[in-house]
Structure 1
Amino acid sequence: MLFTFGCSQAPLSQMKAAGNGSWDSPFTVDEAISNQDSSKSTVEGYIVGQPISENNVIKSQFPSDYALALADSASETDTSNMIYIQIPSIFRSTFGLQSNPKLMGEKIKVTGELTDYFSHAGVKSTSKIEVVEGDGSDPSDPTDPPSYEEYYQPAEGKTGAALKQSLHDIIDDHHELSYSDVWEALRNTDEDPNNPNNVLLLYSGRSQSELSNGGNVDDWNREHVWAKSHGDFGTSMGAGTDIHHLRPTDVTVNSSRSNLDFDNGGSPHREAPESFYDSDSWEPRDSVKGDVARMLFYMAVRYEGDVSDEVDLELNNYVNNGSDPYHGKLSVLLEWHEEDPVDEFERRRNNIIFEDYQGNRNPFIDHPEFAEMIW
């Protein structure tokens, strides 16, 4: 796919001799945008934010350490004059903006493959990143960042039902997967960080081969965290295939959880001994209680029944909700949300779903405070 990007003329004080893409003579951002030929080259520019979509670069409250945007001026706001940099895991702790927000406005050099990232001029397979020492800051550094990044800008200043509706409007228009597509998606979203050939199972925490999916005992299958009978949406595209709430689980454990609501108490499950259950509720292991809560918060906001054939899902403070489009227990979910904060696994998962599959985010991972502001 060919993209054409315009670029305004830089002041004479910022102009420099044309680079050749080497480490000692790097491309400017403008030159790198014009040379998207998959070559391994070096580009130099100012960090101006984090890309979250083709035309959206945020300036604050960064959701991850996975990407950054460079421009020839630190005050640049036009995304067509930016290049998007993919940050591999070995550089994230040093150059990721969530971990290092003070890097905004710094000039860096990056070596990698000049190719599309987020369907935008980019650098991928990054092999080297360094701050340009002694450069000082660009005289046109950004001033105060917005109170919310651009993705959530329409929700700024809202609470309660108004915030819930605003977040719904932000996240409801996304790509929908088929149920068969979910298998491959979960292999990526739930990859074991310590073994890329495995997935982590939600309720047991077991790491097992990503290819051992199916219906046999000890296989893993696709768990609907918002039980698919609660609203009777089954496995249809939309709520039934939304990977923000679909997770790999052991077949037997999935069967035992069935369509139980969430609450504290019960007996330990034989194959997931840190998870507990009884006749009307399921309690997941401590390290994913917050994950479960945030997935249900997402579902209650995303699915409002405002289009034909789409279910209206709501949280309540009950168990035994059966086939009604409700899920509980809200008071317990809010407690779990506080007790088990967002972790890097959730952030990574949210980013992958956004970038590679659905094109929407779980707001309660990016902004945990939204839960209390709504409920």
Structure 2
Amino acid sequence: MKFAHKKVIGIFAIVFLFTIACSQVSPTQMSAAGSGSWSSPYTADQAITNQNGSTKSIEGYVVGQPTSASSVITNDFPNDYALALAATPSEANANQMVYVQIPSDYRSSFGPQSNPGLMGEKIKVTGSLSAYFSHPGVKSTSAFELMEEGGTDPTDPPSEPTDPPAYEDYYNAAEGKTGEVLKTALHNIIDDHHTLSYDAVWGALRKTDEDPNNPNNVILLYSGRSQSKTTNGGGVNDWNREHVWAKSHGDFGTAQGPGTDLHHLRPTDVTVNSTRGNLDFDNGGTEQTEAPGNYYDSDSWEPRDEVKGDVARMIFYMDVRYEGDKGEVDLELNNNVNNGSAPYMGKMSVLLEWNEQDPVDAREIRRNNIIFEQYQGNRNPFIDHPEWVEMIW
């Protein structure tokens, strides 16, 4: 009987200790794990720990928009391409977030730029548990739903989205790749295209860089000035065609190919263009008086903050597009300045910083679409997928 009495006491002790332990666990830790189905979705934590490419439904609170593997912004969202989910609406640690890719069908309803009021709201999404921005993510998403107060009907998942625009399949061959393998895949995707004659570039720039507030003007890259489309030429206050990857870096001139590729040709003030010359890119120097916010010294040029990312993504495009095949020049990024006539452009470490500091904006997206649809038939992948920059370099 003594033995039985001790056994009962031991059981009560275990129950007591378990009760105390449970009382010290946070509500987040106690949240029920799901199976990954629409009626029993994974938590954000489960999605983070099960990055195996399987298709699952997950739920979580919208806590921002990812711009890199470690950076999530909570306001002034640049686009509708991605959002971050977490187990709690106040989560600020990116390591506790899962990054969600938003397809075109859901951007107007769930994109953070179009729907900033979703911050702190709980949503459910279905997609592939795969890295996005080199971070635990949900890609190839096919269903989104706002979780109403009190929950939703688990037997009524949303209908499948309609077919996305044709270019959504443009990067299929690059999916799941990283490093040099990804770079090669992207090169093969964007390689086959045509470019205009150098004279025809004038007319194209009038469309690609049109001022959204004045269709008679273009926006000049470095100065940001809105100027009449017809004032192009060589005069002091005219605008001309700037090769962002300086044409002397590889000595490709203005021949069709890199010399006329619209993805890196932009309208700029003649004098400002002359000051930039063929300088590499880096921070610092003397401010250019006609284009405040731009700085230069003997070996480098720093563009204004509003276009730093634009410049970086144009340079990344040129590196990937021109790889020396088919008799073309092989252009390569490096971490130097003073590259001269060699087919190199720097400074890589600074360009990588600029890509993060100045995220993709609506004007870049519009420009990319126009070049693809009306002129060259190829896209700048780093505007569509800025996360690929760090996956390659």
- Tell me the TM-score range normalised by the shorter chain: 0.5 to 0.7
Q: Does 1:249 align with 2:290?
A: no
Aligned counterpart, 1:5: none
Quote the offset at 1:230 in angstroms. Answer: 0.3
Of 172, 182, 193, 1:174 maps to: 193
Residue 176 of structure 1 deviates from its aligned partner by 1.3
| 2:301 partner SS | strand
Whether 1:183 and 2:185 are equivalent positions in the alignment is no
Tell me the distance in 1 between the aligned counterparts of 2:212 and 2:110.
19
Number of equivalenced pairs:
251
Residue among 153, 159, 180 paired with 1:161: 180
Q: Which amino acid aligns with 2:359?
A: P
Aligned-partner Cα distance in 1 for 2:239–2:258: 20
Q: CA deviation at 1:210?
A: 0.6
Q: TM-score, normalised by structure 1?
A: 0.63
In structure 1, how many angstroms separate the alpha carbons of the residues matched to 2:162 and 2:231?
Answer: 51
One-letter amino acid of the counterpart of residue 392, structure 2: I
Q: Give the aligned residue type for 1:252.
A: T
* TM-superposed deviation, 1:97: 12
User: 1:356, 1:340 → 2: CA distance?
Assistant: 26
- Structure 1 residues 85-117: Cα deviation after superposition (integer angstroms, max 9, x where no partner): xxxxxxx968999958x9xxxxxxxxxxxxxxx
- Residue number in structure 2 paired with 1:116: none
Q: Distance in 1 between matches of 2:225 and 2:162?
A: 47
**Unmatched segments (≥5 aa) in structure 2:** 1-100, 116-122, 124-155
CA distance in structure 1 between the aligned counterparts of 2:298 and 2:160, rounded to whole angstroms: 59
State which of 385, 389, 393 in structure 2 corresponds to 1:367: 385
Q: Residue 149 of structure 1: CA displacement?
A: 3.7
Q: Tell me the SS of whatever aligns to 1:244.
A: helix
Structure with bigger gyration radius: 2
Tell me the distance in 2 between the aligned counterparts of 1:233 and 1:205: 27
Aligned counterparts of 1:274 and 1:239: Cα–Cα separation in 2: 28
* Deviation of the 1:139 alpha carbon: 9.5
Note the residue ranges of structure 1 that are not aligned, 5 or more in a row. Answer: 1-59, 69-91, 103-136
Structure 2 contact 249–341 (Cα < 8 Å) conserved:
yes
Alignment partner, residue 334 of structure 1: 352
1:282 maps to what in 2? 301
Query: In the alignment, which of 370, 376, 383 is matched to residue 358 of structure 1?
Result: 376
* Residue type of the alignment partner of 2:385: H
Match of 1:229 among 248, 260, 278: 248
Return the offset for 1:273: 1.5
Q: Identity percentage over the alignment?
A: 76
* Equivalence map 1:98-137=2 (5 Å): none
Aligned partners of 2:201 and 2:113: how far apart in 1?
A: 29
d(CA) in 2 for partners of 1:138 and 1:264?
51
Deviation at 1:367, TM superposition (A): 0.2
Q: CA deviation at 1:197?
A: 0.4
Which of 332, 336, 357 pairs up with 1:318? 336
Specify whether residues 61 and 300 from structure 1 end up closer, same or farther in structure 2 by C-alpha distance, changes over 3 A only. farther
**Is 1:291 matched with 2:310?**
yes
C-alpha separation in 1, matches of 2:186 and 2:262: 18
2:255 counterpart SS class: coil
Provide the rounded CA distance (Å) in 2 between the counterparts of 1:139 and 1:268: 54
AA in 2 matched with 1:297: F
Cα RMSD of the aligned pairs, angstroms, is: 2.8
- 1:152 equivalent in alignment to 2:155: no
With structure 2 as the length reference, what TM-score do the two structures score?
0.60
Tell me, yes or no, if the aligned pair for 2:195 and 2:262 is still in contact at 8 Å: no
* Deviation digits for residues 182-225 of structure 1 (CA, Å, limit 9, x no counterpart): 00000000001111100000000000001100001000000000
> Equivalences for 1:83-98 in 2 at 5 Å?
none
Q: Tell me: CA distance 1:96–1:178, structure 2 relative to 1, closer, same or farther (3 Å).
A: farther
Name 1:216's counterpart in structure 2. Answer: 235
